Structure 1
């Protein structure tokens, strides 16, 4: 397992890295007795982590901190307009704090403006919101995510003795409306551009259907010249694998990913995907709940990092290949052995000592 925590530069302008809880107030098991309303707005259902991981972790931590607090929850299902409406509804309901993972980090600036007019602090969760009035940012070091993904891909190609003269890499980056996607792409290109391997073509989308169609077209265009597939997340990785398999490509080129999704990890065990990148969503969500509770009470959360001039907490990413699964996602309880090692993957789990 490789754990790398590096302060990113550029768009997120980080002053320092921190993986510590931002507040010492988290020891308050039952809160201060006041029934604050904490709103959590997540961006999409296409990626399973949001409803399946982030929300439950956030909700459990908030309940532990403040039994009398109310969680207002909504998922925007990839619509920035829907998220705007959801935020306004929660402000109307009297939310004391908004925790927002934006569908569109620029458009969500209007959410911050609306909240400011009601003196409601906003925490940008996982993705940056472009606004000077944010109260806090909780995220991961996404430029480092891109570096880890690209380095793993380049190292795999070299280990397999694939010469740059044999072909190149196709890149599936995230949507241009997502600040994190830009950081991931920057980190990845910083590695790939110095590796000797060239980028044959690239696209920018978080939509697996669009990604699958695009990869099909690239396979028709480049064929065996595709020696590696850089994917910014597991959803697009699965789409790429499906497209290549449908075209009869065998063996598959190494494919990268992000999110440590169940499907992604099982694809790694099956030998279809090479790696994924894991961030502790539990730590991220629990930190967000703690920060939101502090802000609701008028307590300034502790921090040792800044993002775009805002106080922040950042989590370091971890590169995960098959031998790392036990010491990362299983150890942390992110997935259980029974969830991961179903009948189709039992042999692979045994091979990698996953138990």
Structure 2
């Protein structure tokens, strides 16, 4: 992403609320807004969906369009269930759907049905296939590059010939491949990829099982680092390493800045995570939904375009992720109000927090 685009995105995020609220107040027709927006999230396995995305999107929608209502459904990682949820929302008369697809290909026909019913669909976090109207996410290639760079830094001299285990995301998600390509652009030719696994459902249990297999194949002391695609996967990796009796844990990456992951970073069990401002992502999705619901174009919201396998030039917002290690938790997550120091620093972590400069 170019510097100019990054500046544009930063300006967008800062101005989304002001711009959209002004539109609500200044448009004579705004007072009659009363359409429904559907929000469909993929699972409860990853904490961010229920704890961050849902409440933030709902809050933004209410601020941007006070008379709009939101219909919500969680697919529990079941594509068939999500298809049923989409059909139900079409029947209920939603005008716009914000969709994080459990399976981007499997949902293509449902997105087509929504389109034919006059319902606009915004792809949220994952680029769905079919006639979508907008897309909001983070630069997945940069997420992977941040993870790969952090892993090399943490491995230090061990990076020369050290075995890295790739613990990728769910193969049904295009983001998983995006993250992997970004990571490999940094790691390939520098370290040896000892084993590589896909993690169905982004599940901690599946990640644990895959890490058990990696330990059995490589040996517990021959793993120099683990590229874990997100924090849920990292949790399974670390539990498997502990179960195998590994005391000097290799560096493990993550993503999503889950609270448990931040605490693992403070304890020294996980090396890093990738922080993505869910508030900015929710604001962009809500602004898109309100604009589309009013029949407006997305030029005032979108900062770039993206091509999917089925559609070109989709109006998009791709936000910039940030790497978080123990050294910058205060400057990132605490500063942005994601967590307070009291939330991070439980009683058992008090000493570790003091060492990290996070004492209350």
Give the TM-score normalised by the residue count of structure 2. Answer: 0.90
Distance in 2 (alpha carbons) for counterparts of 1:305 and 1:35: 29
> Shift of residue 218 of structure 1?
1.2
Distance in 1 (alpha carbons) for counterparts of 2:22 and 2:159: 55
Aligned to 1:18: 9
Distance in 1 (alpha carbons) for counterparts of 2:328 and 2:186: 22
Matches within 5 A, 1:33-48: 33-48=32-47
Aligned to 1:227: 224
Distance in 2 (alpha carbons) for counterparts of 1:297 and 1:29: 11
Residue 318 in structure 1 maps to residue 312 in structure 2: no
Distance in 2 (alpha carbons) for counterparts of 1:276 and 1:77: 24
Unaligned runs of 5+ in 1: 8-13
Residue 174 in structure 1 maps to residue 169 in structure 2: yes
> Shift of residue 157 of structure 1?
1.1
- 2:152·2:159 contact (CA, 8 Å) conserved in 1? no
Residues 63-82 of structure 1 deviation map (CA, whole Å, 9 limit, x = unaligned):
11122111100111101111
- 1:29·1:64 contact (CA, 8 Å) conserved in 2? no
Distance in 1 (alpha carbons) for counterparts of 2:206 and 2:159: 30
Query: What secondary structure sits across from 1:210 in the alignment?
Result: helix
Distance in 1 (alpha carbons) for counterparts of 2:353 and 2:291: 42
When the two chains are superposed, the root-mean-square deviation of aligned CA atoms in Å is 1.9
Distance in 2 (alpha carbons) for counterparts of 1:46 and 1:53: 13
Matches within 5 A, 1:1-355: 18-19=9-10, 20-21=12-13, 24-28=19-23, 31-131=30-130, 133-158=131-156, 161-162=157-158, 164-165=160-161, 167-195=162-190, 197-205=191-199, 206-223=202-219, 224-301=221-298, 302=300, 303-308=302-307, 309-354=313-358, 355=360
Query: What secondary structure sits across from 1:225 in the alignment?
Result: coil
> Shift of residue 28 of structure 1?
4.0
Query: What secondary structure sits across from 1:199 in the alignment?
Result: strand
Distance in 1 (alpha carbons) for counterparts of 2:78 and 2:295: 31
Query: What secondary structure sits across from 1:322 in the alignment?
Result: coil
Unaligned runs of 5+ in 2: 308-312
> Shift of residue 17 of structure 1?
7.4
Residues 144-187 of structure 1 deviation map (CA, whole Å, 9 limit, x = unaligned):
000000110011112xx22524x310110011110111100000
- 1:80·1:107 contact (CA, 8 Å) conserved in 2? yes
Q: 1:347 to 1:6 in 2, by over 3 A?
A: farther
Distance in 2 (alpha carbons) for counterparts of 1:15 and 1:270: 33
Aligned to 1:11: none
- 1:17·1:314 contact (CA, 8 Å) conserved in 2? no
- 2:159·2:224 contact (CA, 8 Å) conserved in 1? no
Give the TM-score normalised by the residue count of structure 1. Answer: 0.91
Distance in 1 (alpha carbons) for counterparts of 2:116 and 2:336: 40
> Shift of residue 16 of structure 1?
11
Distance in 2 (alpha carbons) for counterparts of 1:199 and 1:17: 37
- 2:122·2:132 contact (CA, 8 Å) conserved in 1? yes
> Shift of residue 304 of structure 1?
2.2
